[in-house]
């Protein structure tokens, strides 16, 4: 094996993965509650086959991904069923696959008067799924209390995780599923802002600049592979010519 080609290939593969993540971030720059993915580059080293010398290693680059849970900007909408969360809490919802968590607060009512997400998943309150009384105006307090006719009848279930990076795994564009590494906690310090939504935390300009730089690095590695392949081809031709 030509270890120079192998190392360059690992670098190209890492940057291809980076491009996929950057493209997904940019595609969801306008998705409410979306959290950007970040890639962490790390070096890997392995001894060349048949050589136990610690001085003779082949190096390469690999990547691992991590979700950026920083809060996106809040924008007013004036719509009663739009909410954003100031703090690190998540709304708990019920899907066909079980409990999920989200920061996307563009809610609505289904035909039965139940509070649901844009995908039709049930929003969970302290006592389970929430049914809003018909022909009433819904107010949502900072603590998540649901109020009609001046009376609170239910409260949103807001939860937080001490370490969301390990506790939550992204599912789709704005949902998260618990990994089981920790139990959700009550999020008493987070506040609900009715009539607003949390935007994606993606900075489109920064992502575009990073994508351009990544493409340049990929092209540079691609040229290196071409040069190494040409050199290898000349060596092979030279050896064949001696036979």
pLDDT of residue 52: 47
d(CA 144, CA 126): 10
Question: Are 97 and 123 in the same domain?
Answer: yes
Residue 223 structural domain: 3-69+204-242
Question: Are 107 and 170 in the same domain?
Answer: yes
Per-residue pLDDT of the chain (243 residues; tens, 9 = 90+): 456 777 777 888 888 899 999 999 999 999 999 999 998 877 766 555 555 444 455 566 677 889 999 999 999 999 999 999 999 999 999 999 999 999 999 999 999 999 999 999 999 999 999 999 988 899 999 999 999 999 999 999 999 999 999 999 999 999 999 999 999 999 989 999 999 999 999 999 999 999 999 889 888 888 877 777 676 666 666 666 565
Question: Are 130 and 163 in the same domain?
Answer: yes
Question: Are 100 and 39 in the same domain?
Answer: no
pLDDT of residue 3: 66
Taking CA atoms, 220 is separated from 180, 188, 224, in Å, by 42, 51, 6
Structural domain total, the chain: 2
Question: Are 94 and 186 in the same domain?
Answer: yes
d(CA 149, CA 135): 10
Question: Are 184 and 127 in the same domain?
Answer: yes
Question: Are 79 and 188 in the same domain?
Answer: yes
pLDDT of residue 89: 97
> Residue 102 in contact with residue 117, Cβ under 8 Å?
yes
pLDDT of residue 9: 76
pLDDT of residue 128: 95
Question: Are 135 and 90 in the same domain?
Answer: yes
Question: Are 99 and 179 in the same domain?
Answer: yes
Question: Are 189 and 114 in the same domain?
Answer: yes
Question: Are 163 and 232 in the same domain?
Answer: no
């Amino acid at each position: 094996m030509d270890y120079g080609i192998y190392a360059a290939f690992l670098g190209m593969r890492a940057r291809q993965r980076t491009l996929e993540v950057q493209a997904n971030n940019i595609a969801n720059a306008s998705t409410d509650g979306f959290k950007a993915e970040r890639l962490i580059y790390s070096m890997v080293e392995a001894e060349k086959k048949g050589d136990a010398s610690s001085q003779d290693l082949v190096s390469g680059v690999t990547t691992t991904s991590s979700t950026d849970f920083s809060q996106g900007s809040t924008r007013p909408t004036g719509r009663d069923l739009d909410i954003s969360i100031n703090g690190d809490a998540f709304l708990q919802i019920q899907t066909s696959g079980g409990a999920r968590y989200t920061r996307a607060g563009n809610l609505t009512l289904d035909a039965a008067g139940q509070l649901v997400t844009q995908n039709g998943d049930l929003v969970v309150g302290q006592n389970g799924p929430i049914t809003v009384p018909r022909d009433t105006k819904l107010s949502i307090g900072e603590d998540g209390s649901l109020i009609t006719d001046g009376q609170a009848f239910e409260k949103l279930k807001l939860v937080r995780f001490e370490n969301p990076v390990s506790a939550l795994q992204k599912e789709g564009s704005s949902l998260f599923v618990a990994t089981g590494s920790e139990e959700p906690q009550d999020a008493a310090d987070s506040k609900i802002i009715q009539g607003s939504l949390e935007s994606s935390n993606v900075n489109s300009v920064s992502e575009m600049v990073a994508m351009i730089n990544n493409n340049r690095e990929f092209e540079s590695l691609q040229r290196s592979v071409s040069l190494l392949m040409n050199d290898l081809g000349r060596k092979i031709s030279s050896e064949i010519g001696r036979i």
